[in-house]
Amino acid sequence: GFRMGIVGLPNVGKSTLFNALTRTAAAQAANFPFCTIEPNVGDVAVPDSRLETLAGIAKSRQVIPTRMTFVDIAGLVKGASKGEGLGNQFLANIREVDAIAHVLRCFEDGDVTHVEGRIDPVADAETIETELMIADIESIERRLQNIVRKVRGGDKEAVQQERLMKLALEALEAGRPARTVEVDAEDAKAWRMLQLLTTKPVLYVCNVAESDAGAGNALSEAVAKMAAEQGNAHVVISARIEEEIAQLDPEEAEMFLGEMGLEEPGLDRLIRAGYTLLNLETYFTVGPKEARAWTIPAGTLAPQAAGVIHGDFEKGFIRAETISYDDYVAHGGEQGAKDAGRMRAEGKAYTVRDGDVLHFLFNT
Ligand code: GDP
């Protein structure tokens, strides 16, 4: 599956957020730096109202959302790349995620210590980005030395790697994260294989006080401005509120949200923003037994989309009977869409679209 790493300085609300996301007390929140030591991993259902709608039409007995993984990565402090705090341990954890949710403290609270002794989320973002850039520089320098001999020997792969690493190094040394480097399509794979920390897409999560959950505040606005300048995404949420909502049953949660003047839990926005950040899309399989959502990267062809369900579906793929979500709803389900000529038979070259309701035919 796809993994989002939750990073941020100590005491910004990472564990609180992670707890709310996973509805467990597995990652204990505490007002103490370096409290969470092991990376905590949790699978989260991706909220999608279309799935409920489809299940309602098909009278599906079971509704199965698609899932995304969140990893609570603690230990990031100033000097982490030099072994401060939990040291380099967190770097390995970040390397393994597909994208970064960077939690920034946008709430004031005299009782909660800030490691740097001031509330400044933009400066915090820079502190962490700098640590990641230093880590990238060090790993590139190490790797450049390791491939010297191969490059001299004319090893094509090594030559390409060296060229890309030097490109990244140039940006990093000028103070720019590696994600600002544009690479050609033929270099894209080798570039990804470098697994640099600062090429991972970033979503800033502004953790605001309960009272600012709706409109945000001056601090979250400063983050929004920074994010826009960098071309990164951001969401405003109150981890405290999310923690409370996570403990309520759905009806109570609805009422609570209404009282707070909120339309939906902030976590739903966060998860969807992560989904968008990772360039993911959803297709559905719908029947009386179950309605189920499946995750694919945007641009996935029908056989590979089928492969997400089962490898045999991909191997023996014949065709995909396809109804768009809108047609499925407009014509009252599969039979209606079929009668209206809105069911298409798509072959191996079909690029699955977000919201497609699919039925795969395959050889066994
Ligand atoms: P972490 O170190 O980033 O994982 O931070 P935690 O989630 O453990 O939170 C540190 C402290 O800040 C805890 O006492 C939380 O209850 C508190 N906290 C988290 N979010 C908020 C918030 O939105 N408002 C206030 N006032 N406190 C918060």
What confidence tens digit (pLDDT) does each residue in 128-185 have? Answer: 999 899 989 999 999 999 999 999 999 999 999 999 999 999 999 999 999 999 999 9
Distance CA 188, CA 182 (A): 9
Say if residues 44 and 67 touch (Cβ distance below 8 Å). Answer: yes
Ligand 1 atom at minimum distance from 17 CA? 7
Separation of 238 CA from ligand 1 center, angstroms?
A: 10
Q: What is residue 219's predicted lDDT score, i.e. its pLDDT?
A: 96
What pLDDT score does 35 carry? Answer: 42
Beta bridge partners of 72: 6, 40
Look at residue 277 in the predicted model and tell me its pLDDT.
92
The strands making up 290-297's β-sheet, listed across from edge to edge, are: 62-64, 290-297, 280-286, 357-362, 317-323, 344-346
- SS3 of residue 70 by DSSP: strand
Look up the ipTM and state it: 0.94
CA distance linking residue 286 with residue 63, whole number of Å: 9
Q: Are the CB atoms for 47 and 68 separated by under 8 Å?
A: no
φ, ψ for residue 297, nearest 5 deg: -70, 145
According to the model, what pLDDT value does residue 36 have?
Answer: 44
Token output for 81: 């790349």
Domain range list for the chain: 3-277, 299-362
> 42 pLDDT exceeds 90?
no
Amino acid 111: pLDDT: 81
Neighbour count for residue 81 (Cβ, 10 Å): 22
Give the mean model confidence (pLDDT) for residues 216-232. 95
Question: What is the model's pLDDT at position 90?
Answer: 73
Tell me the average pLDDT of the chain: 89
> pTM for this one?
0.87
User: Tell me, what DSSP letter sits at residue 81?
Assistant: G
Distance CA(89)–CA(36), nearest Å, equals 13
Helix (DSSP H) and strand (DSSP E) numbers for the chain: 15, 12
Phi, psi of 140 (to 5 degrees): -65, -45
Query: pLDDT at position 85, please?
Result: 52
Distance CA 23, CA 242 (A): 10
pLDDT-based confidence at 45, cuts 50/70/90?
Answer: confident
pLDDT tens-digit readout, 73-108: 876 666 666 665 555 667 788 888 999 999 999 998
Q: Which residues line ligand 1 (CB under 6 A)?
A: 8, 10-16, 29-31, 35-36, 107, 109, 112, 207, 209, 238-240
Cα of 295 vs its chain's centroid, Å? 12
Domain 3-277: assigned CATH number: 3.40.50.300
Domains 3-277 and 299-362 fall in the same CATH topology = no
Residue 322 assigned to a binding site:
no
Ligand 1 midpoint to CA 349 (Å): 49
What separation in angstroms does the CA of 151 have from each of 143, 147, 183, 195? 12, 6, 20, 20
The beta strands (E) that lie in 209-251 are given as 233-237
For 46-82, how does the pLDDT look when each residue is reduced to its tens digit (9 = 90+)? 989 999 999 999 999 999 999 888 988 876 666 666 6
Give the nearest ligand 1 atom to 103 CA: 3
Burial (CB count <10 Å: 0-12, 13-18, 19+), residue 311: exposed
Q: For residues 185 and 364, which has the higher predicted lDDT (pLDDT)?
A: 185
CATH architecture of 299-362: Roll (3.10)
Count of beta carbons in the 10 Å neighbourhood of residue 308: 16
* Length in residues, the chain: 364
State the pairing for strand pair 99-106/3-7: parallel
11 is in an annotated binding site: yes
Ligand 1, atom 20, residue with closest C-alpha: 13
For residue 315, count other CB atoms closer than 10 A to its CB.
13
* CA-proximal residue: ligand 1, atom 10 (nearest): 11
